[in-house]
Amino acid sequence: MGTFTISGKLIDLFQRRIYPAEVSVENGVIASIKEVTHAADQYLLPGFVDAHIHIESSMLPPTAFAQMAVMHGSVATVSDPHEIANVCGLEGVQYMIDNSKLSPFKFFFGAPSCVPATGFETAGAKLDAVAIAKLLQQEDIWYLSEMMNYPGVLNHDEEVLAKIAAAKKIGKPVDGHAPGLKGAEAMAYAAAGITTDHECFTIEEALDKVKAGMHILIREGSAAKNYEALAELIKLHPDRVMFCSDDKHPDELALHHINGLVKRSLQKGYDLYDVLRAACVHPVIHYGLPVGLLRENDPADFIVVNDLVAFDVLQTYIDGTLVAQNGKSLIPDTHVTPINNFQAEKKEAGIFRIAASSEAPVIRVIEAIEGQLVTNELQLLAKIENGCIVSDTERDILKIAVIDRYKKDAPAAIAFIRNFGLKKGALASTVAHDCHNIIAVGVDDESMCAAVNKLIEVKGGIAVAEDKNKVTCIPLPIAGLMTTDGGYKTAEAYTQLNTLCRELGTDLHAPFMTLSFMALLVIPALKLSDKGLFDGRKFEFASVEV
């Protein structure tokens, strides 16, 4: 924790003014702020806070995530360890907390409210209301993370309400997750004690939730991009808005983080103070975080930027320590020891075959939507070969499969999907929200099997099979979700894998991130779990053939 003085044009987000100042830091705390006549030609402001993110989805452990985030002016995250909890349970949550403490970056973890997210899929662990209540008592747990089981809230499920009650009893916030919920249902959801939502994909939905008393987290992740639809909230309800990424793959994290949303908002002409309060102040106040906001006696968590147009981050300080300067992270590497939960054994291509009940069946097809987690349901005539339903590249109808990773010999659940665009080969991943079973999409059974078996061999990762004989893979030895390599090495490898995906025919911006959400049952309309095709509107299984 340093002791020093720095000068610049201070952006005071409480008095809503900019003035030349000298800021004195002593032992990691803002000791004094003095208005002066002249100051250095740079701007001082609080660091950025990501109001909702799953660190695991960066494919990096917290220590490596921090190294990249600080270069973009981020000093803290509100982090839901939901992904690793679905794989490794409480041990996974503690793993994230312990690893985060090896970094100066400020990670604030929540208690995962839905492990598993539903009863219609197989997870590696289960956290009931008793376990959640105990977890919430820990000082390292700051809130109850996204309550994805919104039908359970609306239908007064005892287990769901007990988890919410445990958080409310000790005064910790409850995060929401209720895509598409509006009107009376949004009111009822908020009335249960849920204070935020990051799943809005229309302005109308967001306005209904604001009316219900909720704070809206404007999300811009690698796959789910809702900023353009919701940006107007910065002007309409500036005190109800925060920024979040939710899920950020390493190639994008190498380029930007919350600073990207700040730049876009300022370019659109939104008020500087409203934008920066959403990026810096509101998460700190809402969650009660010990993060400095550039006031006397605050922790010295702040950034230095060159101007208010380019908004390039020159320096990032956390607790008075310089952690990034001129595009270079100053946080040292940390040795990481993996944990995992992976039992699946290698498969034969025959498990990916699906027999047709007639010569011309109509099938339900998942329609993936670029930039969204929601999907549509299509009903299309199937292509039949040798009595089996197969992929049809001419109409972009591909086979998709999910396989339980937690059992040695589990069958494959098979369905069909549109908009991946592959002309040959297959993609596979063990990043498959939220239970993180093995998910694959492909043109032929042999390529799908080759990609899946490569992931089984390395016990988790992402893979591209150009055919049954050529597979490229990024191993993710930490729970099948995160790497032990550095952030930039992983970002480069991930970029190369994305390029390979495009050579196979897809034009999706983030094909692996999009694929990972095709197993997210709590987001309608159609998704696929290891137990079968699932209708997220009715919250029940659906048959592949109509």
Which fold does the domain 55-290 belong to in CATH? TIM Barrel (3.20.20)
Instruction: With 0.95 as the threshold, say if the pTM is over it.
Output: no
Q: Report how far residue 342's alpha carbon sits from residue 349's, in angstroms, rounded to the nearest whole number.
A: 20
Query: b/e per residue, 136-148, with b = 16+ CB within 10 A?
Result: beeeebbbbbbbb
Going through 449-494 in order, the beta strands assigned E by DSSP cover: 461-467, 470-475
Q: Write out pLDDT tens, residues 180-219.
A: 999 999 999 999 999 999 999 899 999 999 999 999 999 9
> Residue 187 is encoded by which pair of tokens?
């009111």
Q: Report how far residue 381's alpha carbon sits from residue 543's, in angstroms, rounded to the nearest whole number.
A: 14
Q: Write out pLDDT tens, residues 316-348.
A: 999 999 999 999 999 999 999 999 999 999 999
Q: What is the pLDDT of residue 172?
A: 98
**Residue 352: pLDDT over 90:** yes
Helix (H, G, I), strand (E, B) or coil at 211: helix
Q: Alpha helix (H) ranges present in 381-507?
A: 445-458, 487-503
- Cα torsion at 178, 182, 185, 186 (round to 10°)? 60
**Residue 510: pLDDT over 90:** no
Q: Report how far residue 62's alpha carbon sits from residue 68's, in angstroms, rounded to the nearest whole number.
A: 10
Residue boundaries of the structural domains of the chain: 55-290, 349-541
Q: Write out pLDDT tens, residues 236-280.
A: 999 999 999 998 889 899 999 999 999 999 999 999 999 999 999
Q: Write out pLDDT tens, residues 116-144.
A: 988 899 999 999 999 999 999 999 999 99
Please give the mean pLDDT across all residues of the chain. Answer: 95
User: What is the mean predicted confidence (pLDDT) over 85-101?
Assistant: 97
Under the banding of pLDDT at 50, 70 and 90, the label for residue 453 is very high
Q: What is the pLDDT of residue 1?
A: 63
**Residue 232: pLDDT over 90:** yes
